[in-house]
Amino acid sequence: MLQESSEPGGPAQWLGPLLLFTGIFFVNFTARVVLAPLLPAMEAELGLSHAQAGGLFLFLSLGYFVAIAGSGLVSQRLGHRGTVLLSALAVGAAMLALSLAPGRWGVTLGMVGLGLAAGLYLPSGLASLTSLVRPGHWGKAVAVHELAPNLGFVAAPLLAEMLQQGLSWRGVLALLGGCALLLGLAFARWGRGGEFPGQAPSPAAVSRLARQPLLWLMVALFALGIGSSLGVFTMLPLYLIEERGWPPEQANLLLSLSRVSGLVMALGAGWAYDRLGARRTLAMVLCASGLATVCLGLASQGFLVAALFLQPALAVCFFPAGFAALSAAAPPELRGLAVSLCTPPAFVLGGGAVPALIGLLGEHYSFGLGIALVGGLILCGAALTPLLRPGRSL
């Protein structure tokens, strides 16, 4: 059972461990999203269609689904700290294996393996983090932790563009795999937090949470949040290069620069959650990001750059508020399990089905139509936020 510290220290005492968790999350996330700007090169070498390229992320999300859903079994035996360490090392090994995959099916299996490795991190990482930080600072601490994926969105296109000047897409993956292994060793030496076991998804615990409509509401909201950010991002390089005719270097540079604002916006979303609460914060985020996503898909060439910068700035605001709301809704002993049950189906839908849908429409109609359709679904999701009533818990 997770034990909260009775007298947690101030930010100066938990900032160091928080930054190390954030670094591990950064490599974990970047290892997955760097595949998006590498897709054109992978398509050319492996002979993939747009639909097949988008489908690779569905296989990655399926591996992620299995790992994150079963992470409680691992953390019960290894503890949350051991699970974080295992995930970091396994991501490194999976990236090295993916870089050596011989063909389409080898890459597909590698994507499943990468998803399995990466999916172990989040429940144990969040459970460890919230045990070190006073509840009144959760919004800010989770926002700092969420800098990792936002930095990953910025770094991935730049790394892909710069490293491909001297390396193939396989070399880029191998280099990131080595970085993941080094960070795992650093955590083994200097990391702290998470020195307690997780709760395995026992039938009683799973049944207790699965009977709560609030859990499935959070699944729907997270699917939309993941779709607006990760799901759209994974297909943007193909959209900009193949459909809009942008040169790869221009597409990757602007794609990276467009994500810089997310670093500040994520912190602002954590601040807004602490002051406005879950309902108002998430409603505003979903409305704004949904409209921006529609504009991104339908914008004329002259307004495409503006939409490219606006959409991610709004989409990233979902996650600090979403994870803080999920943590607040679950009792301490079930927080890791709640994340384990909520995130997998949301990731399969938002991070797997959304890219596959955009890729399918891109092959038969247009990428822009697929992106605009996703934006419409996000807008509809804002109507679900009034169901997040104050005091309602899992």
pLDDT at position 2 is: 38
By the 10 Å C-beta count (0-12 exposed, 13-18 middle, 19+ buried), 231 is classed as buried
Kindly list the distances between the CA atom of residue 287 and the CA atoms of 190, 335, 350, 383, in Å, as whole numbers in the listed order: 42, 27, 17, 9
- Tell me which residue has tokens 């639909």: 51
Q: Does position 392 have pLDDT exceeding 60, yes or no?
A: no
124, 84 Cβ separation under 8 angstroms: yes
44-58: pLDDT as tens digits: 888 878 788 888 888
Q: Which residue has the higher pLDDT, 209 or 110?
A: 110
**Could you tell me the two tokens for 245?**
């005719």
Q: Taking CA 108 as the corner, what is the angle to CA 106 and CA 110, rounded to the nearest 5 degrees?
A: 70
Cα distance between residue 217 and residue 381, in whole Å: 10
Domains of the chain, by residue range, sit at: 11-387
Q: Which 8-state DSSP code applies to residue 41?
A: H
Mean pLDDT of the chain: 82
Cα distance between residue 174 and residue 31, in whole Å: 10
Question: Which whole number is the average pLDDT over 183-208?
Answer: 77
The DSSP annotation for 376-390 comes to HHHHHHGGGGGG--T
Q: Which residue has the higher pLDDT, 267 or 309?
A: 309
Q: Does position 9 have pLDDT exceeding 60, yes or no?
A: no
18-28: pLDDT as tens digits: 888 888 999 99
Number of DSSP helices (H) and strands (E) in the chain, helices first: 20, 0
Q: Does position 262 have pLDDT exceeding 90, yes or no?
A: no
The DSSP annotation for 247-305 comes to -HHHHHHHHHHTTTHHHHHHHHHHHHHHHH-HHHHHHHHHHHHHHHHHHHHH--HHHHH
pLDDT at position 164 is: 84
Residues whose CB falls within 8 Å of the CB of residue 178, separated by 6 or more in sequence, listed in order: 92, 96
Q: Does position 362 have pLDDT exceeding 70, yes or no?
A: yes
286, 378 Cβ separation under 8 angstroms: yes
Cα distance between residue 330 and residue 337, in whole Å: 9
- Tell me which residue has tokens 């144990």: 124
325-334: pLDDT as tens digits: 777 677 666 7
* Least confident range of 123-137, 241-255, 277-291: 123-137
* Least confident range of 7-11, 196-200, 296-300, 382-386: 7-11
Kindly list the distances between the CA atom of residue 37 and the CA atoms of 41, 50, 53, 249, 306, in Å, as whole numbers in the listed order: 8, 14, 12, 10, 20
CATH fold for the domain made of 11-387: Growth Hormone; Chain: A; (1.20.1250)
Q: Which 8-state DSSP code applies to residue 366?
A: -
* Least confident range of 2-11, 70-79, 111-120, 309-318: 2-11
